[in-house]
């Protein structure tokens, strides 16, 4: 089934963000693991795998719409040096991605591509949940202090 070029280029941009996000969370997960913060490792690892599944759905959708998924393009990673910075970097990435998803969903609406919209809405839901988790961590660090917070992540 053919689609418009605007929908396809938007889907490729969303795919680029997802592919970048996979690497970002994978590296952060393994950095946490290296420092022994297993709770944080699990959370970031699962987020990375979730992004991989979302990227898979996007690739399938682009191919279905007779486009070519661009797996070559990758955005810049935002990697922190320590836990607080890593959470801050991830928050920044999530906020940008949520903005992008909202614009993409609005485009689906104007182009009347309701199936793509549903796919993107599902992704947006997961991204919002992760942003909420990041905000919770930030709140805990502010209130518990970084030492106690990190002790709880062992």
Partner 1 sequence: MFVCLCKGITDSDIQQLVLEHGVGSIRELKQHVALGSECGTCTKVAQMVIDNTIIDETLFKNVG
Q: Is 76 in the site for partner 1 (CB under 8 A)?
A: yes
29/105 with CB nearer partner 1: 29
Q: Is 68 in the site for partner 1 (CB under 8 A)?
A: no
Q: Is 65 in the site for partner 1 (CB under 8 A)?
A: no
The two most distant CA atoms of the chain are separated, in Å, by 55
Q: Is 78 in the site for partner 1 (CB under 8 A)?
A: yes
As a whole number of Å, the end-to-end CA separation of the chain is 50
Q: Is 79 in the site for partner 1 (CB under 8 A)?
A: yes
Q: Is 85 in the site for partner 1 (CB under 8 A)?
A: yes
Residue owning tokens 């906020």: 95
CB of 74 to partner 1, least distance (A): 8
Within residues 86-115, the interface with partner 1 by CB under 8 A covers 89
Helix (H, G, I), strand (E, B) or coil at 89: helix
Q: Is 141 in the site for partner 1 (CB under 8 A)?
A: no
Residue owning tokens 């209130």: 143
CB of 77 to partner 1, least distance (A): 6
Four-CA torsion 14, 18, 21, 27, nearest 10 degrees? -150
Q: Is 138 in the site for partner 1 (CB under 8 A)?
A: no
Is 44:105 a contact under the CB 8 Å cutoff?
A: no
CB neighbours of 123 closer than 8 A, spacing ≥ 6? 14, 18, 54, 57, 101
Which residue in 124, 8, 135, 16 sits closest to 66, CA to CA?
A: 8
Among residues 42, 80, 111, 141, which is the contact residue for partner 1, using CB under 8 A? 80
Residues of this chain that bind partner 1 (CB under 8 A): 76-81, 85, 89
């Amino acid at each position: 089934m053919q689609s418009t070029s605007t929908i396809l280029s938007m889907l490729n941009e969303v795919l680029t963000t997802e592919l970048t996000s996979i690497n970002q969370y994978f590296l952060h997960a393994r950095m946490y693991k290296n420092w022994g913060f297993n709770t944080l490792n699990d959370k970031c690892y699962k987020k990375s795998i979730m992004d991989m599944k979302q990227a898979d759905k996007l690739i399938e959708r682009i191919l279905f719409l007779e486009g070519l998924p661009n797996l070559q393009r990758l955005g810049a990673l935002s990697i922190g040096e320590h836990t607080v910075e890593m959470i801050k970097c991830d928050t920044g990435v999530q906020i940008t991605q949520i903005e992008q998803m909202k614009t993409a969903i609005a485009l689906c609406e104007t182009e009347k591509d309701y199936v793509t919209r549903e796919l993107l809405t599902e992704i947006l839901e997961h991204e919002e949940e992760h942003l909420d988790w990041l905000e919770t961590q930030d709140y805990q660090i502010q209130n518990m202090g970084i030492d106690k917070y990190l002790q709880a992540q062992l």
